[in-house]
Structures are given as structure tokens and as C-alpha cells.
């Protein structure tokens, strides 16, 4: 590793990036720092503001780099921080014999330029690494200022609550209108109708709920026409339940998150009542969806390998679609020890990685004792506790994938040709039709299964 601070200074796009990078050079921000000197590579995972860590790799030979963050600055603060650590504390990097698959993936897509590594230049365009490293946290607020700030916060919260309440009144009326006018018309015209009420809800600060309503048309269109009325009843009915629940407990963190805004990462980490689970986790898969509101939602689903029953966690981030395609934060099949903090909820699911420790060796999933008589029992339990939830992770018992006469794929429990069959969203890899599935992790959205991963006679299968 041949970085020096002058090179980093020269690479930095501006002084702000250097300042931001300096704050990320603490070891605690980097649960993973590794290097392979033979391949001239360093890489790491930086726990940024999102739930999914950012993955950063740098080729030290030519200063080539890649980070999974959505920043439009190149290199971003995470890349600069990784180089900074390499320059100042190279011993922080563990020696790795092989490169992870995400690094290989970057290497395989990389088109190398013929440009030479950046040469440090005097002054580097007014950027100064010394200035960036200076502690900027010395500003002390006086007590009166704190009081004023908190009062303003309270006022804003009260205003938001009033606005949201008014927004939900409009939503109630809108739902009643849809029922009166007929769901057939709603299904046909859902795009415009949902857009209009979603725009109103954004105005009334019910942002999260607006985003959810904006997605209803695409969820309906993913189904066959004869299924859409039932799906519309489910979608609108859940909105009614959510609005009612919020009115009865507007400060409930789960409901506030689903209706207006989510708490920050720092607030969740500081919440002593939040559920914490320290365990071995396996990355089941990822789900990346472009939303109509211009955001991309990025979910990573984890499975608790030490739990007696199947327990899941969701790392969820949103970033603007304009930031371009984002690389995956984890590789399906990765296993690691970690302490997860769950966002408070009736059935906690969304989580943050608080501490990540070493990797765990691969192997089969434990036997979770899944109820073969009703593969959706976990979904039912979750709906009983939080009936406004849409997607629910389930662990399915032994089964297989079959095709109906239209070529659509279904999951069906093994040895029960007349038992429950669950339709699968999208097409499946044809190879999957010949594999026995000992256990399958999937998301059930009330109408379709989205497969995440499975265990089979051929080992672990990545299905997301």
C-alpha cells in the first residue's frame, strides 16, 4: 500500500470531501478492513448513515476505486477515508488470501484507463488535509440556545402532527370515494388517482404514507386482472387500518415511521428500549426497487442463524434514483456475527447493524421447525400484530417449484400435490424447477412470493 496523504489530497474533489473523510477514519466506522498485497487491493465496509454499509475497494497500483454509496463526488468521502487509513495506519488492514466476490465483480467490470496514478501537487487546488483533520467539534452551544432549538423542534413536531392528521382526513374521504365510485374504475385508473392523493399527503407531511400509496398501482399491475380487485381491497383496507392506528397513537414510533418520517440512525442507536439481537446472520438476498417518488429502496434481508424459529431482519435504505445504479452492499450467502438493533415495532423487522464482528463459516440453515401445514403461519402472526404491514418474510418448509399451464411458477410443499401452492412473482431460473428445496426463504406480499434464498441438495441457492 503506497498511499501518502499528499496523494489523497490531490485526489479529493474538494475540501468538504476531505473534511468528511477525516471523520470516517475512526476504526469503529469500519467493521471490515482487508487487503491483498499480491493483487494490490485494499477494501473495506464503512458503516455510513444508511442501514446497509458502503463497500469500498481501491486498487493501490493505479488509484482506481469503487464505492457503493450514492455520492456524486468522485472519489467520495468513504474512498478517501479508506485511503487515509491505508496511509496512516496500514496495520488496520487484515491480510486476506482471496478477494470477496463483490471485489471480483468490480474488477471484472472495470475498464482500466491508461492514466497514471495521481501525482501529488503542491497546494492541491486549495485543499488541505491538515485543515480537514482539525477537530471541528469544539463549538459549544449555550443553554438558552439548546432550549430555543428544542422548543422549535417541539413546535415543528406539533405542526407536523396537525398536518398529518388533516392529511389522513383527506385520505379517509378519498378511500370512501373510491368505494362509492367502484374499485373496477380505481384499478383501471389507479395511477392517476393514487398520484393525486399521494401529492396531497406529501403536502400534509405524510411523506411515508404518500410513498406507499404511490406504489399501489405497480403492485396491482403485477397481478393478473382477475386478482386486482381483491388486491385493491387489501391495499386500501390496510391504509384504513394504518390511519386509524396512527390517530390513536400518533407518537408510536412504528406508526410515525409508516405515516410521516423515520427516526434517524442515531436515534435508533441511542434508543435503549430498542430490541437488540446479537447473533450469527446470513445475508439472504437483496431487493432493490425504483419507486415512483424518485427514490430507490434498497432492502437487504438477513436470517438469524442462532434462533430456534426463523427470525429475519431487514436493512432498509432509500436513495435518489438520480444517483444511478448502486452496487450491492452485501453478497448473498455472506455470514457474519453482528449485533443488530431493531427499529421499535410490534413485530420488529427493520434493523441496523450496530457492531459487526468476524465472518461465520458457511453451512446449512438450522432446522427451524417450520409448520408444514400452513406455510404462511408466520405471515398470519405478523398480520395479527400489525395488520398494516405488506411484505412479510417467511421460511417455507420442504417443497418444489412447479409450473401452471400458463407457465407461471408456484411453490408447493413437498409430498402434498393437493396442498397449498403459492404463486411466485416474476419468472424463475428454469434450473430451479429440477431442484428439491429443503427450505426456502421468501417474501410474501399477500399475493405473490418473492424468493430470496433456498437450501437444496445442491447446497445454498441465491434466488433474489
Q: Which of residues 388-407 bind other proteins (CB under 8 A)?
A: 400, 402-405
In whole angstroms, the minimum distance from the beta carbon of 52 to other proteins comes to 21
Rule CB under 8 A: is residue 462 a binding residue for other proteins? Answer: yes
Q: Tell me the sheet residues that pair with 46.
A: 54
Site stretch for other proteins (CB under 8 A), options 88-96, 162-170, 203-211, 240-248: 240-248
Residue whose CB is less far from other proteins, 157 or 222: 222
Comparing C-alpha atoms, which of 258, 253, 250 is closest to residue 162? 250
Rule CB under 8 A: is residue 427 a binding residue for other proteins? Answer: no
* Interatomic CA distance for residues 323 and 54, integer angstroms: 14
In whole angstroms, the minimum distance from the beta carbon of 24 to other proteins comes to 25
Rule CB under 8 A: is residue 189 a binding residue for other proteins? Answer: no
Cα-based distances in Å from 382 to 71, 249, 319, 385, 392:
36, 19, 27, 5, 8
Rule CB under 8 A: is residue 170 a binding residue for other proteins? Answer: no
Rule CB under 8 A: is residue 182 a binding residue for other proteins? Answer: yes
Residue whose CB is less far from other proteins, 113 or 137: 113
Please pick, from the candidates 98, 137, 138, 248, the single residue that binds other proteins as defined by CB under 8 A. Answer: 98
Please pick, from the candidates 16, 125, 309, 458, the single residue that binds other proteins as defined by CB under 8 A. Answer: 458
Containing H/E element for 421? strand 421-423
Comparing C-alpha atoms, which of 81, 80, 154, 150 is closest to residue 118? 80
Rule CB under 8 A: is residue 429 a binding residue for other proteins? Answer: yes
Residue whose CB is less far from other proteins, 316 or 392: 392
Site stretch for other proteins (CB under 8 A), options 3-11, 66-74, 151-159, 236-244: 236-244
Cα-based distances in Å from 241 to 81, 91, 194, 230:
46, 54, 18, 16
Residue whose CB is less far from other proteins, 294 or 363: 363
Alpha-carbon dihedral sign for residues 442, 444, 445, 447: positive
Task: Report the Cα–Cα distance between both ends of the chain, in Å, rounded.
Answer: 36
* Interatomic CA distance for residues 368 and 120, integer angstroms: 57
Cβ density class 436-463: b for 16+ within 10 Å, e for less: ebbbbbbbbbbbbbbbbbbbbeeebbbb
Alpha-helix runs per DSSP H in 89-142: 101-109, 129-133
Output the CA angle 48-52-53, nearest 5 degrees.
Answer: 50
Site stretch for other proteins (CB under 8 A), options 6-14, 147-155, 298-306, 432-440: 432-440
Residue carrying C-alpha cell 440512525: 265
Contacts of 334 (CB under 8 A, 6+ apart): 282, 283, 359
Q: Restricting to residues 354-383, name those near other proteins by CB under 8 A.
A: 362, 376, 379-380, 383
- State the CB neighbour count (10 A cutoff) for residue 349: 21
Q: Restricting to residues 245-304, name those near other proteins by CB under 8 A.
A: none
- State the CB neighbour count (10 A cutoff) for residue 337: 16
Q: At 123, list the grid cell.
A: 497546494
Residue whose CB is less far from other proteins, 220 or 341: 220
Residue carrying C-alpha cell 478492513: 33
Residue whose CB is less far from other proteins, 77 or 379: 379
Please pick, from the candidates 79, 160, 447, 455, the single residue that binds other proteins as defined by CB under 8 A. Answer: 447
Residue whose CB is less far from other proteins, 272 or 406: 406
Rule CB under 8 A: is residue 116 a binding residue for other proteins? Answer: no
In whole angstroms, the minimum distance from the beta carbon of 184 to other proteins comes to 5
Please pick, from the candidates 38, 135, 192, 251, the single residue that binds other proteins as defined by CB under 8 A. Answer: 38
Please pick, from the candidates 359, 364, 371, 384, the single residue that binds other proteins as defined by CB under 8 A. Answer: 384
Binding string to other proteins for residues 54 to 93, with x set by CB under 8 A, is what? -----x-xx-------------------------------
Rule CB under 8 A: is residue 346 a binding residue for other proteins? Answer: no
Rule CB under 8 A: is residue 122 a binding residue for other proteins? Answer: no
Residue whose CB is less far from other proteins, 269 or 377: 377
Please pick, from the candidates 141, 148, 151, 237, the single residue that binds other proteins as defined by CB under 8 A. Answer: 237
Amino acid at each position: 500500500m503506497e498511499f501518502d496523504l499528499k496523494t489523497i489530497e490531490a485526489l479529493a474533489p474538494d475540501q468538504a470531501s476531505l473534511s468528511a473523510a477525516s471523520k470516517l477514519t475512526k476504526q469503529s466506522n469500519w467493521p471490515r478492513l482487508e487487503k491483498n498485497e499480491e493483487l494490490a487491493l485494499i477494501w473495506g465496509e464503512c458503516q455510513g448513515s444508511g442501514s446497509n454499509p458502503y463497500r469500498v475497494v481501491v486498487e493501490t497500483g493505479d488509484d482506481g476505486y469503487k464505492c457503493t454509496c450514492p455520492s456524486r463526488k468522485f472519489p467520495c468521502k468513504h474512498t478517501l477515508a479508506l485511503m487515509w487509513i491505508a496511509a496512516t495506519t496500514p496495520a488496520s488492514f487484515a491480510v486476506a488470501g482471496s478477494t470477496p466476490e463483490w471485489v471480483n465483480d468490480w474488477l471484472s467490470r472495470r475498464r482500466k484507463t491508461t492514466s497514471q496514478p495521481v501525482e501529488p501537487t503542491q497546494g492541491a487546488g486549495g485543499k488541505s488535509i491538515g485543515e480537514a483533520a482539525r477537530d471541528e467539534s469544539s463549538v459549544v452551544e449555550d443553554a438558552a440556545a439548546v432550549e430555543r432549538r428544542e422548543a422549535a423542534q417541539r413546535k415543528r413536531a406539533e405542526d407536523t402532527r396537525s398536518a398529518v392528521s388533516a392529511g389522513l382526513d383527506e385520505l379517509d374521504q378519498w378511500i370512501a370515494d373510491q368505494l362509492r365510485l367502484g374499485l373496477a374504475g380505481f384499478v383501471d385508473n389507479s395511477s392517476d388517482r393514487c398520484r393525486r392523493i399521494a401529492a396531497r399527503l406529501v403536502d400534509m407531511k405524510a411523506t411515508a404514507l404518500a410513498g406507499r400509496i404511490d406504489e399501489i398501482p405497480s403492485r396491482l399491475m403485477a397481478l393478473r386482472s382477475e386478482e386486482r380487485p381483491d388486491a385493491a381491497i387489501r391495499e386500501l383496507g390496510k391504509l384504513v387500518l394504518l390511519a386509524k392506528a396512527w390517530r390513536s397513537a400518533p407518537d408510536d414510533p412504528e406508526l410515525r415511521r409508516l405515516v410521516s418520517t423515520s427516526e434517524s440512525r442515531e436515534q435508533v442507536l441511542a434508543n435503549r428500549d430498542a430490541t437488540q439481537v446479537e447473533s450469527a446472520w446470513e445475508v439472504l438476498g437483496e431487493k432493490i426497487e425504483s419507486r415512483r417518488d424518485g427514490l430507490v429502496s434498497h432492502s437487504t434481508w438477513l436470517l438469524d442463524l442462532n434462533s430456534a424459529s426463523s427470525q429475519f431482519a431487514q436493512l432498509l435504505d432509500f436513495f435518489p434514483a438520480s444517483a444511478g445504479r448502486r452496487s450491492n452492499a452485501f453478497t448473498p450467502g455472506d455470514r457474519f456475527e453482528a449485533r443488530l438493533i431493531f427499529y421499535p415495532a410490534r413485530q420488529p423487522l427493520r434493523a441496523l447493524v450496530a457492531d459487526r464482528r468476524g465472518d461465520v463459516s458457511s453451512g446449512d440453515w438450522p432446522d427451524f421447525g417450520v409448520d408444514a401445514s400452513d406455510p404462511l403461519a408466520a405471515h398470519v402472526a405478523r398480520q395479527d400484530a400489525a395488520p398494516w404491514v405488506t411484505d412479510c418474510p417467511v421460511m417455507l418448509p420442504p417443497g418444489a417449484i412447479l409450473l401452471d399451464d400458463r407457465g407461471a411458477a408456484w411453490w408447493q410443499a413437498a409430498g402434498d400435490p393437493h396442498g397449498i401452492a403459492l404463486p411466485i412473482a416474476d419468472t424463475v431460473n428454469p434450473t430451479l424447477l429440477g431442484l428439491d428445496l429443503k427450505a426456502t426463504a421468501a417474501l410474501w406480499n399477500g399475493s405473490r412470493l418473492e424468493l430470496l434464498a433456498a437450501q437444496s441438495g445442491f447446497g445454498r441457492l441465491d434466488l433474489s
